[in-house]
Chain A
Amino acid sequence: VKIFATYNIKGGVGKTTAAVNLAYLSAADGHRTLLWDLDPQGAASFLFRIKPRVKGGGKALIRGTKALDDAIKGTDFDDLDLIPADFTYRNMDLLLGGADKKPTRRIAQLLRPLAAEYDHVFLDCPPSISLVSENVMHAADVLVVPLIPTTLSVRTLDQLTEFMADFRGHRPQVRAFFSMVDRRKRLHQEIIKDLQAERVDVAATPIPSLSLIERMSVERAPITAFAPRSVAARAYRDLWTELSHDG
């Protein structure tokens, strides 16, 4: 199994949209795919029309009184399952902190029994640096980081890289990509060009800012599913091709 996590310290950068579309594309390629909506807001669950509710809440999952397996819901799409968000995930840091030995490794540990059942797991992680995000970094093989093309946003990538530099042992591969890009803005183009020249871990495919992507919340489906031939869907497909062909 290969674990992808979409993550950014900042919110509202197209993280969930990326997780939903990339997971869909992975499944469409025939990989058995699981998406865990770790964000208490439950946007990914909403987009798949699945109620953001887990019996026993985050507590039961983290403590292991309910197997992760039992929380899995089938989406409308073949080979794509989802573990829904739950409002109690907002206390996830406390729950993880209460886990006995290795509080930063708990999510990795919970995912282990699912390794045989899935080829790809996507973790849609809430923003901010927290025990949850640290867990996710320990669990992930690839950290997919959406960046909006502003100077400030680009700095968060440096912060993230620095933060993980202290990790001992497992360290995920970072793959950043530009999100919500407005091609008409000269500044966007410059920032993209500069960063792509500067860093090797930035994907070549940018995801444009398009109103069709916003329509996902009306359609409640991945754009790659309801408008597969759109510019946006094509961009996600190119991005997925890049990510899935790495390492």
Chain B
Amino acid sequence: VTAPGQRGFVLEARPGDEENLLSAALAALAEAFTVTAEPGAPGSGTRRRTWLDTFDWRLYRAGLVLQFEQARQGGRLLLSQADGTPQAEQAVTSWPRRPPLDLPEGPVRDRIAVLTRPRALLPTVRAVSTASVTRLLNADGKTVARLVADHVTVTAPSQPAPSQAATTAELAPRLAVTEVRGYPGPARKASALLAGVPGLSPASQGVFIAALTALGRHPADYSSSVAAEITAEMPAPVAVARLLLRLLDTLESNVDGVLRDIDTEFLHDLRVAVRRTRSAVKLLGAVLPDELAEHYKAEFKWLGDVTTPVRDLDVHLLGFDAMAAQVEAASPADLEPLRAFLARRRAREVRRLAGALRGPRFRAIADDWRKALLEIRDTGSARRRRPAAVTLALSTTGRAFRRIAAQGGTITPDSAPASLHDLRKRAKELRYLLEFFAPLHDPVAYRKVVGDLKQLQDCLGDFQDSEVQRAEISSLAEAMLAERAAPAATLLAMGEIAAKLARSQAQAREEFAARFARFAGPAGQERVRVLLEGRP
């Protein structure tokens, strides 16, 4: 947990007793070494560090830790593995004061860009530490090890974060024995001596994790997955309320990132939470009071709709380079006026969206919906209509599957596109139901069904996305013409893209029959039966 060549300890002293404990540590070391303070030694003095990660902890989940060590001017970015093994380092001359933090080019960025894109890096913890260094000398007066005593104050940067308790905390002082190259023995000896001092315990966490803990957070405390705490025996209304509360948490924790326009994924996650909420209200709302489900159906539809324009533009802009690379007759540069047009539109739509999210209607949804759900969660078990959660899970999931099987079976190569669009919606609903109740299912059976369903969804998604995008390209072309923002070359290039989209839509249509047969045919039905009935 400490850097290689270091052995770390934490002083478990009561405040005010630290000095005594530190003296006891030095006295223990004096048995084997001459102990002298080393003012101005490398590693002594004040360090200012900021740990960075994406909002959804992509670096942490990949086993990486990124810190920025501030110097008088600029500083250094240090990327390491969770155990402290260095991975990459990069000097930074200037640092933006506010997120989004897009890294300047360099080895650290090269290493992490694949993981983090399109997410921005945000500060997770800031730490100011003051270290003093003591040299441990052998009989020749040679420094054979060092003791670094570190006092760390940590601060939570102001940013969207769930369950954020304190904003500043003092960590228990830390002692670390650092090895001098070629002298492993003395460092071991010093560590052994420290281990015998009462009140010193081996540091089990690095500063980063200790800092998060002190601030009442833990790493990976945001995830867009459903993962509600439900059990099979729980009354269905309680389970559904828990599910919806979890979705509301996710939704709300993304609002600030959307308002500050930190990166596109805040809005994406917010929209997924809205869609899941709508599906849950539609499919499971029967266990909620009637008027409640009815009212919020409309409210969440409104919320979904106000977020759509920005997301559509995000999708265009995120895929822009890949799309531009595909044009053959035209040059990718021909499309730049389209990019500029999209960016202008997006800026306008973001303002509009921010207005909605700051407005009373959204506030009312968030507050009243939560209040209603909390009440159901806490009193739901007393209600009259109360099947167990598992009963609700099995009946709704089975019904959703049968609907897809029936509806998909009627689709022929001549069916209208609308029939595939409709099937896509049903498939999405089934997917959400599976995810909602995932904790109640057998994991192996669950993975099999979800795997098949995902294949089918991808195919239906390709089909519909191509059609929607094609329609959008032509409406964008009209809008650009109306605003006199469309050179002929750009329109031609857009025509090429529309043609490509038509081809991939035709391809998705060809693949549909096979994917559907795999999902809803006899083998697929058997997989669903195993999932729902629990017997192979």
A66 at the binding interface (Cβ < 8 Å): no
Q: Which residues of B contact A72 (CB under 8 A)?
A: 181-182
Closest residue on chain A to residue B139 by CB atoms = A49
Q: Is the CB of B42 within 8 A of A78?
A: yes
Known: A49-B140, A50-B142, A220-B141. Contact between A73 and B181, CB under 8 A? yes
Q: Which residues of A contact B181 (CB under 8 A)?
A: 72-74, 81
A73 to B181, CA, bound (A): 5
A81 to B179, CA, bound (A): 13
A50 to B181, CA, bound (A): 12
User: How many whole Å from A203's CB to the nearest CB in chain B?
Assistant: 30
Q: Is the CB of A76 within 8 A of B143?
A: yes
Other-chain contact of B183, A71, A74, A78, A220 (Cβ < 8 Å): A74
A71 to B181, CA, bound (A): 10
B180 at the binding interface (Cβ < 8 Å): yes
Interface size on B, residues (CB 8 A): 11
A215 at the binding interface (Cβ < 8 Å): no
Q: Is the CB of B182 within 8 A of A51?
A: no
Of the candidates B42, B135, B180, B182, the one having the most CB atoms from chain A within 10 angstroms of its own CB is B182
Q: Which residues of B contact A220 (CB under 8 A)?
A: 140-141
Instruction: Name A192-207 residues within 8 Å CB distance of B.
Output: none
Q: Is the CB of B140 within 8 A of A74?
A: no
Contact with A along B175-201 (1 / 0, CB 8 A): 000001111000000000000000000
Q: Is the CB of B42 within 8 A of A74?
A: no
User: How many whole Å from A102's CB to the nearest CB in chain B?
Assistant: 29
A220 to B180, CA, bound (A): 18
A222 to B291, CA, bound (A): 86
Q: Is the CB of A73 within 8 A of B140?
A: no
Q: Is the CB of A49 within 8 A of B141?
A: yes
Q: Which residues of B contact A76 (CB under 8 A)?
A: 135, 142-143
A49 to B140, CA, bound (A): 6
Other-chain contact of A49, B41, B42, B142, B182 (Cβ < 8 Å): B142
Q: Which residues of A contact B182 (CB under 8 A)?
A: 71-74, 81
Closest residue on chain A to residue B142 by CB atoms = A49
Contact with B along A213-246 (1 / 0, CB 8 A): 0000000100000000000000000000000000
Q: Which residues of B contact A50 (CB under 8 A)?
A: 142
A126 to B182, CA, bound (A): 24
User: How many whole Å from A80's CB to the nearest CB in chain B?
Assistant: 10
A51 to B140, CA, bound (A): 9
Contact with A along B24-53 (1 / 0, CB 8 A): 000000000000000001100000000000
Contact with A along B109-149 (1 / 0, CB 8 A): 00000000000000000000000000100001111000000
Q: Which residues of A contact B142 (CB under 8 A)?
A: 48-50, 76
A48 to B180, CA, bound (A): 13
Closest residue on chain B to residue A71 by CB atoms = B182
A74 to B143, CA, bound (A): 9
User: How many whole Å from B142's CB to the nearest CB in chain A?
Assistant: 4
User: How many whole Å from A145's CB to the nearest CB in chain B?
Assistant: 30
A76 to B181, CA, bound (A): 10
Closest residue on chain B to residue A70 by CB atoms = B182
Instruction: Name B232-287 residues within 8 Å CB distance of A.
Output: none
Q: Which residues of B contact A74 (CB under 8 A)?
A: 180-183
User: How many whole Å from B60's CB to the nearest CB in chain A?
Assistant: 30
Closest residue on chain A to residue B143 by CB atoms = A76
A22 to B41, CA, bound (A): 20
Q: Which residues of B contact A81 (CB under 8 A)?
A: 181-182
A49 to B135, CA, bound (A): 14
A149 to B182, CA, bound (A): 39
Contact with A along B500-516 (1 / 0, CB 8 A): 00000000000000000
Instruction: Name B162-220 residues within 8 Å CB distance of A.
Output: 180-183
Q: Which residues of A contact B135 (CB under 8 A)?
A: 76
19 contacts between A and B (CB under 8 A): A48-B142, A49-B141, A49-B142, A51-B140, A71-B182, A72-B182, A73-B181, A73-B182, A74-B180, A74-B182, A74-B183, A76-B135, A76-B142, A76-B143, A78-B41, A78-B42, A81-B181, A81-B182, A220-B141
Other than the given A72-B181, A78-B41, 10 more pairs (CB < 8 A) read A49-B141, A49-B142, A50-B142, A71-B182, A74-B180, A74-B183, A76-B143, A81-B182, A220-B140, A220-B141
Interface residues in chain B, defined as those with a beta carbon under 8 Å from any beta carbon in chain A: 41-42, 135, 140-143, 180-183
